[in-house]
Amino acid sequence: MKEYVSIDIESDIEATSMFDIFKQLLPEYDWRSGDSDMQGPYLSGKNIDDVRIKIWLGEKPFEMSISFQNSWLNNQDRDNNMENALSRIIQDFIPNFGRVVKTDI
């Protein structure tokens, strides 16, 4: 499995509401928000396994990236762990605020 995946998400929810939604649905991630001069507002989160999620809210559809680059490096079940984390995000997390329109997995 790739260490970096990209997912485009369509959503009717306002970008300003996303921070609270993310904190509620994935509380094990440390979330922060920011604003890029080039791509506008974004949310960024990291969990204890160093799975990193970034979602660009100034784009339509929203662009989400997930990085497993530093996750589970010394674990023989690394691919399984990455697949399970990605499945949870796609199946349990994203449907709460939008729908997947494109993936690069």
Domain harbouring 31, CATH code = 3.30.160
Domain of residue 57 covers 4-104
User: How many distinct structural domains can be found in the chain?
Assistant: 1
Number of Cβ atoms within 10 Å of the Cβ of 15 = 19
Strands lying side by side in the sheet with 99-104: 30-36, 40-46, 52-56, 62-67, 4-10, 99-104
Entry pTM: 0.92
Q: What is the pLDDT of residues 2-52, one digit of tens each?
A: 999 999 999 999 888 999 999 999 999 999 999 988 888 999 999 999 999
Q: Give pLDDT, residue 65.
A: 97
pLDDT of 53: 97
Q: What is the pLDDT of residues 78-95, one digit of tens each?
A: 999 999 999 999 999 999
Q: DSSP class of residue 28? A: T
The label of the residue with tokens 């507002």 reads: 41
